[in-house]
Amino acid sequence: MGGRNNSDLGIPGYSCYTTRVTLLVALFTLLGTPASAAELSQARLWQERYMWDGLMQARDRAARVSADPQLLEVVKQIAFQVAQQTANLGQIHAFTQGQVDNLEYAFSQKDPEPSLAVIQNNFNTLSKGSEQIRNNLFFLATRIRLCSTQALPDPKLTEKSKLVIAQVQQVQLRLNGLYSDTAAINQKIRQETWMADDFFRFSGQHLLKSVVTVQDSVFAIYNASYELFVLSKE
């Protein structure tokens, strides 16, 4: 089956191995390389521009008197970056839903191994994408915490922090849908008791775990943005 046209997998005109490469290219084009401060931020707080040293505490006290002039711009940028993570989760969700049809096709074959090998690689790719989104959200939560150290009562800052919270809620809704479909895929694999490939079973479980652990980062950035909202209220 390795050389046949894999149109039955829902991607006409491509072989199993072309399907895997296409998914890899599409997903990593969307998610890019692991997040770094340079990629996720252009506007920066002074705390992100200078090396931390023994005067850090004194500088924080000074920041409470006069907020960083880039503060509003940074919070606005973070809201946009959180929205980007929602889009990334949506792309992963779409690929995950596609694996349901692929599994049904594979389990209907006399020799499902070639198709299952492709699906396993897809699971691994989706797991890496989920882990990257988790790291991105933790990074953005850290930036929000830095903003909170300089938060003074300001209606404009309050509005910006509410915007971040709204975007985090969208991430949560998207994550809920992704979790539901990933759990269904994992249950479908568990029901196929005849299959003895432990590596394939693990890849499905690892994908589910990767999706679940994104929740930790959602909690982190929600708590950070809510703290910023409270500190900025007049």
pLDDT computed for residue 26 by the predictor = 46
pLDDT computed for residue 46 by the predictor = 61
Query: What is the per-residue pLDDT across 16-44, written as a single tens digit (0 to 9) for each?
Result: 433 443 444 444 444 554 444 445 556 76
Q: Does residue 118 sit within a domain?
A: yes
Query: What is the per-residue pLDDT across 127-142, written as a single tens digit (0 to 9) for each?
Result: 999 999 999 999 999 9
36 against 49, higher pLDDT? 49
Are 89 and 133 within 8 A, CB to CB?
yes
Q: Does residue 31 sit within a domain?
A: no
Q: Does residue 89 sit within a domain?
A: yes
Q: Does residue 30 sit within a domain?
A: no
The string over 101-125, giving b where at least 16 C-beta atoms fall within 10 Å of a residue's C-beta and e elsewhere, is: ebbebbbeeeebebbbbbbbbbbbb
pLDDT computed for residue 154 by the predictor = 87
185 CA to centre of own chain:
19
Query: Residue 102 and residue 100: Cα distance in Å, rounded?
Result: 5
Residue 179 corresponds to which tokens in the numbers above?
A: 């979790």
Q: What is the CATH number of the domain that holds 46?
A: 1.20.58
Query: What is the per-residue pLDDT across 151-187, written as a single tens digit (0 to 9) for each?
Result: 888 889 999 999 999 999 999 999 999 999 999 888 8
- 199: burial class by Cβ within 10 Å (0-12, 13-18, 19+)? exposed
At residue 191, does pLDDT exceed 90? Answer: no
Q: How many CA atoms does the CB half-sphere of 186 hold within 13 Å?
A: 17
- Report the number of distinct structural domains present in the chain: 1
Query: What is the per-residue pLDDT across 63-114, written as a single tens digit (0 to 9) for each?
Result: 555 667 788 899 999 999 999 999 999 999 998 888 877 777 777 778 778 8
Q: Does residue 141 sit within a domain?
A: yes
Query: Residue 197 and residue 208: Cα distance in Å, rounded?
Result: 17
At residue 48, does pLDDT exceed 90? Answer: no
Q: Does residue 10 sit within a domain?
A: no
Q: Does residue 25 sit within a domain?
A: no
Q: Does residue 65 sit within a domain?
A: yes
- The range of the structural domain enclosing residue 109 comes to 37-232
How many CB atoms neighbour CB 89 within 10 A?
24
At residue 144, does pLDDT exceed 80? Answer: yes
SS3 43: coil
